[in-house]
Amino acid sequence: MLNTLRRIVQEVTAARDLDQALDVIVLRVKKAMEVDVCSVYLTDKTHCENVLMATDGLNDEAVGMVRLKNSLGLIGLVGEREEPINLANAPLHPRYQYFPGSGEERYHAFLGVPIIHHRQLQGVLVVQRLTKKHFSEDKVTFLVTIAAQLAGAIAHAEAIGGITGLSGDTRKERGVVPLKGQSGSPGVAIGTAVVNYALANLEAIPDRSVGDVKLEVNLFKTAVKDVRKDIQSMLERMQEVLPAEDRALFDAYLLMLEGEAITGEVIRRIKQGNWASGALRETILEHIHAFDAMEDEYLRERADDVRDLGRRILEKLRSKEPQKPKKFPARTVLVGDEITASMLAEVPIKRLAGVVSKRGSQTSHVAILARAMGVSAVMGVDELPVSLMDGRSIIVDGYTGRVFINPSRTIREEFKHLLREEAELSKELRELRDKPAITPDNIGIPLYINSGLLADVTPSRKSGAEGVGLYRTEFPFMVRDRFPGEDEQFQIYRQVLKSFSPAPVTLRTLDVGGDKSLPYFPIEEDNPFLGWRGIRISLDHPEIFLVQLRAMLRASAGLNNMNLLFPMINSVAEVDDALRLLRRAHHELIDTGVSISMPHVGVMIEVPSAVYQVRELARRVNFLSIGTNDLTQYLLAVDRNNARVADLYDSLHPAVLRALQQIVDGAKDEKTPVSVCGEMAGDPAAAILLLGMGVDSLSMSAANLPRVKWVIRTFTQRKAHSLLKEALTFEYAHSVRNFLNAALEDAGLGGLVRAGR
């Protein structure tokens, strides 16, 4: 059964649109369960109906015609209860509703299970038999498993292909169901998808129309010829060390290359209009699915051989393709399995409108870069059909984490209106740039920016920031093929400190691990977010840490505007050890005759243990900086990179708010200033609460600073504290959000709510 399930899911996932996927489901499930009928009903949310969308066993004419209100029929009952309904004689059930012309009057046994994706009912999967007998428990659990596994695949197919006949309206008028990810960078982008992909990632190769068919065919044939030569060379090298039966694998590779099954099919697809790489992907994946569907275990394992052969051809093919300069549309939306910083850099900044990544989160580096650049981004879109995206019209809603593929005219107009609102709001916010962030009751809240790139310096100064609250020093480490030397780091830090002088700049020491890796210093862990990262790595490698500390101290000489921040602090012992190494680096420089004063030192509060030792930590340092991204993740036990639980990640969760208040109160008792440098600081609604808590300063992306300044200049601290007290009485995060949005509306700042809806 497990193999059957796997094969069905693979076929559905490979379908080019939802109609094809549904046909596969009813055909394969009927055969696997040995029943007389298998049908799929999908929920039309617009009309509150369940619609028969595919069947194998009922009359084909009934597809699209059988429509049941959600409250009617056995299908409606399955949807209401969100659990299986197993009946021996369905026509006797009071909720049974017969549709003339469907042909179901002959069938008695009925088993229906809900298809649920991210808590949303998508439809109902039904099997029926002529006999009057309940389905066995094995059959029930199998169908439940099938429905659960297919839910994501159906969502995938629906997003890219729509559902023909689901609604009475045409698909063009209805639009499509958006894909859901995480908000990576706020804003809206309407543009054209451009797929970027790793050269050797066969599955990510997009479809593209071919210009010169003859050239593409020749490129493919040359690539195949080169792979054949490589394999023959391998075979010769292995002649002496492998027995004949083991060398047969290479012979099999050669047979596949010489036959028409793969090469002939690829050439046929090229002639039909797909470029060589896309035709290769289609053909190889088709063969992989065929092998996976085989009953014989040995033959199933040959799918890996086909995949390996496909990747070898792809590598040769890509090396043979003429290197043309990439063309980017006027409003490019960069799409990929995993977008990297270098991919972003390839797109002219004036042409980059948005970013959509299958992997990553709102706190991944690409999301951080997108925010710094003012580019809308959605991360962690699990069901993103990357290979089918190239050239498609796309809308990126960076506020809510939604992606619309081939949106309808109605949806496009709605988002164009939102873009106009954004433009009007931005114009108003620009007028605040040179005004101080002071509340009406005369409380000053310095607003700083988070940064990590030298390219951010100029736009950051223009944003009206009063300094840098968090400079991420890991970027110079990530873009090199080795650890940067002391002088290299000195030059970078000096430039940042000098650019903002005399305004303060907080340099955070190296913070890698978790979702931030160095190519030359790999960290392989089962649970990286609870593993070797941040200050733990620095303390374990003083030879790296001391070099960075000396570079930072040297860079501050004569400027005296540097603050130093230790990340991922778990205990007072780590602070004591880090301070000891800092003093050692300082003494080493003093001994060389360099006159450098010790900087103000702070620690990041981002793990629960630090919350409960906040007073002890505050006594040892000059300031505390709350990293709300990780703190929220650890308090809620939610992996912020996992799109499946993204809805559970919310910094306005009551537990997070209470932890923040405890941190601020503990620091105040020790007379130690507190800043917030996580994404929460740039959220206008959350800024109200942070103001009410008594946070001393906020640090955020330059794009969010004007919005937060507007909030600070509108709400008195007294009013903010009153709102905080009421917010702390709520039990749900969404209740807190709605309450704060209402407060923004009442204060005449509704534009901030509408722009962030």
Catalytic residue numbers, as ranges: 365, 677
Q: Are 128 and 112 in contact (CB under 8 A)?
A: no
Q: Are 173 and 314 in contact (CB under 8 A)?
A: no
Residues 550 and 570: their CA atoms lie apart, in Å, by 24
Query: Phi then psi for 215, rounded to 5 degrees?
Result: -65, -45
393 forms beta bridges with: 192
Which residue is it, tokens 């008028």? 173
DSSP string, 304-342: HHHHHHHHHHHHHHHHHS--PPP---TTEEEEESS--HH
Give the burial class of 412: count Cβ atoms within 10 A of its Cβ; 0-12 exposed, 13-18 middle, 19 or more buried: middle
Residues 651 and 281: their CA atoms lie apart, in Å, by 42
Torsion of Cα atoms, 361 then 367 then 368 then 374, to 10°? -150
Closest CA relative to residue 159, chosen from 327, 358, 354, 311? 358
CB atoms within 10 A of CB 426: 16
- Compute CA 755 distance to the chain's CA centroid, rounded to the nearest angstrom: 21
What's the full length of the chain, in residues?
Answer: 757
3-state helix, strand, coil in the chain (%, to 5): 50, 15, 35
- How is residue 131 annotated by DSSP? S
Q: Are 98 and 105 in contact (CB under 8 A)?
A: yes
Q: Which two tokens stand for residue 117?
A: 């994706």
Residues 308 and 290: their CA atoms lie apart, in Å, by 15
User: C-alpha angle 182/183/184, rounded to 5°?
Assistant: 105
